[in-house]
Every structure is written in C-alpha cells, then in structure tokens.
Amino acid sequence: MAELIVEVVALDRKIWAGTAKMVRVRTTEGDIGILPGHESVAGLLKPGEFAVERVDGGRLSGHIDSGFISVDSNRVTVVADEVNFDGQSESE
Amino acid sequence: MGAQIRVYRQKITSTSSMKKIFKAMEMIATSRINKSRQSLEAAYPYANALTRAVSQIASQHNISHPLTSTVDDVRRSAVVIFTSDRGLAGSYSSNVLKRAEGLLEMLNSEGREVRVYLVGRKAKAYFDFRRRDYDEFWTGDTDNANPERAEELTERLLGDISASYDDGGVDEIHLVYTAFKSMVTQEPRVLRLLPLEVVDANDLGDEVSEDYQDLEETNNNFEFEPNPEEFLNEILPRYIKSRIYSTLCHAASSELASRQRAMKAAGDNADELIKKYTRLMNNARQAEITTELTEIVSGAEAL
C-alpha cells in the first residue's frame, strides 16, 4: 500500500519524520485529511488539532498554533510555528 | 646574576597560565561548535520546506508581492552586520567588518542612504570608536543562535521594508555575515535578503542548502488554500525569518570555529615560548655556575 512520507518541522528543528497512513490538519478553510495519492495541495494552518496515523499503527496527535502544510506526490510537509504533542510520542 | 633567572621564571609562569586559558577556551569552542553545527543542520528542513513552497508558487503563478518586487531606484538600503560579542576569535569580526565596509562604500558611492544594524558587541565597538551612526544593535549570545533573535530581526526588517520611503522605510536589505562552509573554511559573505529573488522550483541553486537535491522536479499543479496570494503573504515572512535564523546559525558556527582555531594557535605559540624561555633560563643558570666556578678557581690560584 502506498504510504505518506511525513515531515513535521519547526524553525530550529525537525520535530517528527516518518511514514504514515493518514495526516489530518486544520487549515484556514477547514479540516483536511490527507491519504496516500492525495493531489498536490498547500494550505495555511490555523490553530487546531492535528493527527498522524503512523504506518506501524501508532498515532501522533497534538496541537499546532500556525504554519502550513504542503502535499506533493505522497510527501507531506507540515511546517509548524509551535507544536504541542498529546502524550509523549514526540521523540521517535 | 640571579635576576635574569628570576625574570625568565616569571615569564614561564605567566605564559603557562595564559596557555591554560587558551586551552580552556579552545575546548569550550570545540564542544560548543558541534551543538552549533547541529542547529545549523536542524534548520535545513524548515528552510527547505519553505523554499519549496515559495518556488512552487513562483513557478505556477505570476504574483507580485512587495517583498519580491525589485525597486528600480533604490534610495535607502539597510545593512545588517553579524559579528561576535567577544574577541579572541582570530580575524572573525574584522573580516566581516572589512567586507561590510566594502559594501557600505559601494552603496554610498551609488548615492544611497544606508541604515546600519549591528549584531554583536564587536561591531558596536567598531562603530562607536569611529563615532559612526548606526540605527540599532543587538548584543549577547552571538555564539548561540536562538529563534527569538531571528524573530526580533525579522520584525524590525519587515517593518522597515514595508514602510514607505518618507516614513523611513528601506528599499533593500543586505546581510553581511560569515558563511560556515566547513571547520576550516568560513568566508565573509554579503547576501541580499530583500527584495527576494524567488527562484523557480526547477532551477534552484545551491544557495539554500546542499541536502536539497532530493527535490524531484514537480510539474504537479498545486492547489493553494485559501488562495495563492494569501498563502504567499503568510509564507514570505516565515521564509525571511528562516533565512535570518540560518544566517545567525552560520555566524555562530563560524565564530566558534574561528575561536577554536585562534585558541589552538595561541596555545601552540605559548608552548613554544615556554620552551624558549626554559632554554634561556637554563643558559642563564649555567652561566651563573660557570662564573662562580671561575671565581673560586681564580681565587684559589691567587693564594
């Protein structure tokens, strides 16, 4: 099955990188869910929850303050100004 | 006679205590440079993501934005000079300042007003000593790039560029800093930060980062939410900030590398001096003994 290559980055560090089945973020236009094969899109984020369904079954979720997301042929980049994770799934 | 020996002994003691300081500073620089290089590398993903996004917009849409449009008649430029807070880093600060002088001269000869921003106490001291004007300075923490400093600089510079000329706005912004190429090569460099030269996604140079080559050519048509203009509006300030942050990282790493090299050289020189003084001291002692012996022998002969 195709999977997404996900990168969550902040100004001074890479927060998380890995493969995922699904990514969900809140853009200014509303929540979007990204599945493998999604068309190329770039959107601004507004404060809200985000979630990453990892390929190994785990789940990464948290709160993003602002930033943007870009999706391009199964590469997802979430650029965040500030991220707070739920739980301790941060380090990976 | 014993005076000479005493003088040498004093010199040896003071040189070796200086050597201890040099060695300590070298070690501190060595240990911090790794951290600094890591933060330089850690800033790449963010910069890459932004560069990709900006160039994607540029290749798809023909948008003119205040931050990207070049002004034909530049009347006022801003120059930001990145130096260190402390000395003992070889020619690190003076190289940057020399490069900056060249730029300032060029801008002046073109009849532009120049607004100067300084980062680091060395730059401030340089300008203060020559009683030259500058508009603002930031000191402290030059060997440790932090996002807050980048934020402050970005805010200030963006405010300047968006203000009109009559309100004191500037038309272009240059950064003078030291690019960290490797542990042994750092080179002072001038970068025109604004207006931005947005490059097409397909012909990106090595300007942004070396590990950027994994970018495949994308011909996909992107959809921008909410719309390309607003997206660009939001993203460009971030792009600038990331550029400034990476400049700070470069400057910090270069400073530490220069300091490490300078301190290594100083430590080695101290070693040599100590060796030399020890030899001279031994000579002096030997001479003293010889004189004493001669005195005794000639005294005995006289009897």
Question: What are the pLDDT digits (tens) for A22-44?
Answer: 999 998 888 999 999 888 888 89
CA distance to partner chain B, nearest, from residue A56 (Å): 24
Question: What are the pLDDT digits (tens) for B146-184?
Answer: 888 998 999 999 888 888 888 878 888 999 999 999 888
The pLDDT of residue B53 is above 80: yes
For A55, the domain range is 4-85
Question: What are the pLDDT digits (tens) for B60-96?
Answer: 777 777 777 777 778 889 999 999 998 888 899 999 9
Residues B268 and B264: their CA atoms lie apart, in Å, by: 6
Give the pLDDT mean for A11-28: 88
B46 vs A10: CB contact, 8 Å cut-off? yes
The pLDDT of residue B210 is above 50: no
3 state DSSP class of A19: strand
B43 vs A12: CB contact, 8 Å cut-off? yes
The pLDDT assigned to B280 comes to: 95
Q: Which residues are within 8 A (CB) of B160 and not within 5 positions of it... i.e. 6 or more apart?
A: B78, B115, B168, B169, B170, B173
The pLDDT assigned to B167 comes to: 82
Using a pLDDT cut of 70, give the percent of chain B over it.
91
The pLDDT assigned to B204 comes to: 43
* Chain B contact probe: residue of A7, A27, A44 with most B CBs at under 10 A: A44
A90 in a domain, yes or no? no
Domain ranges of chain B: 33-258
Question: What are the pLDDT digits (tens) for A50-83?
Answer: 899 988 888 888 888 888 898 888 889 998 888 8
Mean pLDDT of chain B: 86
Max intra-chain CA distance, chain A: 33
A91 in a domain, yes or no? no
Buried b (16+ CB within 10 A) or exposed e, B83-116: bbbeeebbebbebbbebbeebbeebeeeebebbb
The pLDDT of residue B252 is above 80: yes
The pLDDT of residue B209 is above 50: no
* Chain B contact probe: residue of A27, A31, A70, A83 with most B CBs at under 10 A: A70
The pLDDT assigned to B168 comes to: 79
A65 in a domain, yes or no? yes
Domain total in chain A: 1
Question: What are the pLDDT digits (tens) for B213-229?
Answer: 444 445 567 788 788 88
Give the pLDDT mean for B241-246: 90
pLDDT bucket at A1, cuts 50 / 70 / 90: low
Q: Classify domain B33-258 at the CATH topology level.
A: Pyruvate Kinase; Chain: A, domain 1 (3.40.1380)
The pLDDT assigned to B67 comes to: 77
Give the pLDDT mean for B105-109: 92
